[in-house]
Chains A and B, each alone.
Chain A
Amino acid sequence: MLKNRIIPCLDVKNGRVVKGINFVDLKDAGDPVEQAKIYSDGGADEICFLDITASNENRDTIYDVVEKTSKKCFVPLTVGGGVRSVEDINKLLNCGADKVSINTAAVQNSKVVVESSKKFGSQCIVVAIDAKKNGEKWEIFTHGGRNNTGIDALEFAEKMEDSGAGELLVTSMDRDGTQVGYDIDLMSKISFKVNIPVIASGGVGNLDHLVDGIKLGNASAVLAASIFHYGKYSVKEAKEYLNSKGIPVRI
């Protein structure tokens, strides 16, 4: 039986781990390579690095982090943030990333998704959807949540599946950093709309939120940062809890 995945996410800036509350107020808290190793030893099903301010800053540091991590962690490594082109994807994959998540560039030009999934395979192309509720629908935000595009998130999700995305990483901008739980409505609507796996992200504050993301949100995988990063829970505790709630996990 296929297991639901738990993915700790490390937000990285200038080669160091940070976690933003609603993408601001960054706190420096550690070496990403070491953190990733702790997570993978602790049973993380995948590791995710998000180069959080990459759109605006010199991002060469991330390549070094990815290269070092991939020599120590033997679980899948996803890297996102500031990925603009097929060449950026190529570079990250060559450094040892297994998947690359594309956000702003996918919205601006879906050809990046089409071309990269053809060139490298859908299995390594994750499209990151940052969405915020507006009335009855959700709209896509880009540039780390700063720009509202007005694009309908559900329609966009379907378009990304057609363009060749292998997975969707869906983040609720309303919930990110709030610790009140995933936007379940958004997760389940997108998950039922597409046939590719959905990773739920944004808003996890406790282990029941992870359960809800899978049971109610129909997510294949749940991503969280703060609850793991600040030691509130270990990945192992999270898995044992999910297991106790009848969710299949790798233990």
Chain B
Amino acid sequence: MNVTIVDYNSGNISSVINSFKEVAKDKVNIEVTSDLNKIKSSDKLVLPGQGSFKSCVDALNNINGLVDTLNEFAITNKKPLLGICVGLQMFADIGYEETDTKGLGWISGEVSKIDNQNGKYKLPHIGWNQINIIKESKIFKNIENNSHMYFVHSYEFIPKDKNVISATTDYSSNIVCSIEKENIFGTQFHPEKSDKIGLKIINNFINL
């Protein structure tokens, strides 16, 4: 099996690579590439994302044919894809960071700044927070409710259809931190930085 981490110059992805390789050991081949043919032939995709919504969308668009390839992979062929952090946020129709930017439009909704309640809550939301699992998700197999995950973000994904939400976390409000819609998975937190429990989520995705 091939799991491909999409390398589209979205900032620092070494931790994502290290964690997937740690979990995969020799059983699964982990590719890191922006090569469209390799992406197409892959069994599963990981879409990381750091920096702003706009910078990530711009980076995707900068690679000719990448967005079409991703659409074909996740929407037409319905193969498993995991978005992490801004990788998840880009599933939305639109993001408001820096300026209004169109997302991939896979899951209807928007990405807006977390309400800091006039400075009561510091932003970015950095650190370990508990997840409240509200829907069974394949990537949460053997993950206990209220497990701690590592977060670092200032913007949140607000999907229109609440049925896609698999977990929330409490910071200023109930922030969407995990979604599952058919073959599309996403986490706002960083499983690659969430210690053993995070590696378990990566393992669940690899073993889907």
For B127, what are the chain A residues with a Cβ–Cβ distance below 8 Å?
A: 2-5, 45, 197, 220-221
Contact between chains at B195 and A75 (CB < 8 Å):
yes
- Assign chain B's interface to a size class: 35 or more
Q: Is A120 an interface residue (CB 8 A)?
A: yes
Q: Please, which residues of chain A bring their CB within 8 A of the CB of B19?
A: 74
Q: Specify which of B124, B170, B192, B196 is in contact with A123 (CB 8 Å cutoff).
A: B124
A197 adjacent to B128 (CB under 8 Å): no
Which residues A67-108 have CB closer than 8 A to chain B? 70-71, 74-76, 93-98
Nearest chain B CB to A123 CB, angstrom units = 4
B11 engages A74 (CB within 8 Å) = no
Q: Pick the residue among A40, A45, A120, A197 that contacts B11 (CB under 8 A).
A: A120
Q: Which residue in chain B gives the minimum CB-CB distance to A70?
A: B18
| Residues of the B chain whose Cβ atoms lie less than 8 Å from the Cβ of A211 | none
Please tell me if the beta carbons of A96 and B152 are within 8 angstroms of each other in the complex. no
Q: CB distance B14 to A74 under 8 Å?
A: no
Contacts of B40 in A (CB 8 A): none
Once the chains bind, are A98 and B126 in contact (CB under 8 Å)? no
A24 within 8 Å of B by Cβ? no
- Least CB distance from A114 to B in Å reads 14
Query: Size band of the A side of the interface?
Result: 20 to 34
A93 touches B12 (CB 8 A): yes
The contact string, 1 if C-beta is below 8 Å from chain A, for chain B 114-133, is 00100100111111111000
CB proximity to B under 8 Å, residues A137-188 = 166-167
> What's the A-B contact tally at a CB cutoff of 8 Å?
100
Q: Is B193 among interface residues, defined by CB-CB distance under 8 A?
A: yes
Cα distance A5–B148 in the bound complex, in angstroms: 12
Residues of B within 8 A of A4 (CB): 127
Which chain B positions have C-beta within 8 A of A133?
Answer: none
User: In whole angstroms, what is the CA distance A197 to B12 when docked?
Assistant: 21
In the docked arrangement, what's the CA distance between A94 and B19, Å? Answer: 14
Whether A196 contacts B150 by the Cβ 8 Å rule is no
* CB of B155, distance to nearest CB on chain A (Å): 11
CB neighbours (8 Å) of B18 from chain A are 70-71, 74, 96
**Closest Cβ neighbor of B118 among chain A residues:** A195
Interface positions, chain B 1-48, Cβ under 8 Å from A, are 11-12, 14-15, 18-19, 21-22
Whether the Cβ atoms of A166 and B152 lie closer than 8 Å is: yes
Answer yes or no: B138 CB below 8 A from chain A CBs: no
A120–B12 contact, CB under 8 A? yes
Closest to A221 in B: B127
Q: Does B199 contact A (CB under 8 A)?
A: yes
A40→B128 contact, CB < 8 A: no
Interface hub of A40, A76, A123 (most chain B Cβ within 10 A): A123
B52, CB-defined interface residue at 8 Å = yes
Chain B residues, CB < 8 A from A5? 127-128
Instruction: Tell me if A30 is interfacial: C-beta within 8 Å of chain B.
Output: no
Q: Are A96 and B14 interface neighbours, CB within 8 A?
A: yes
Is A1 within 8 A of B119, CB to CB? Answer: no
Assuming A75-B193, A220-B127, is B51 touching A121 (CB within 8 A)?
yes
A121 touches B52 (CB 8 A): yes
Contact, CB under 8 Å: B126 / A167: yes
A197 with B122: CB separation less than 8 A:
yes
For A3, the chain B residues whose CB sits under 8 A away are 127-129, 148
- A residues near B, CB below 8 A? 1-5, 40, 45, 70-71, 74-76, 93-98, 118-124, 166-167, 195-197, 220-221, 250
25 A-B residue pairings within 8 Å (CB atoms): A1-B129, A1-B170, A2-B128, A2-B129, A2-B171, A40-B195, A70-B18, A74-B18, A74-B192, A74-B194, A75-B194, A76-B152, A93-B12, A94-B14, A98-B12, A98-B15, A118-B55, A119-B11, A122-B124, A123-B50, A123-B124, A124-B50, A195-B123, A196-B124, A220-B127
Give me the interface of B with A, judged by CB distance under 8 Å.
11-12, 14-15, 18-19, 21-22, 50-52, 55, 116, 119, 122-130, 148, 150-154, 170-171, 192-196, 198-199
Closest 3 CB pairs between A and B?
A: A121-B51, A93-B12, A123-B152
Given pairs A196-B122, A220-B122, 12 additional interface contacts (CB within 8 A): A2-B129, A4-B127, A45-B127, A75-B150, A75-B194, A97-B12, A98-B193, A119-B11, A120-B11, A120-B12, A123-B126, A123-B153
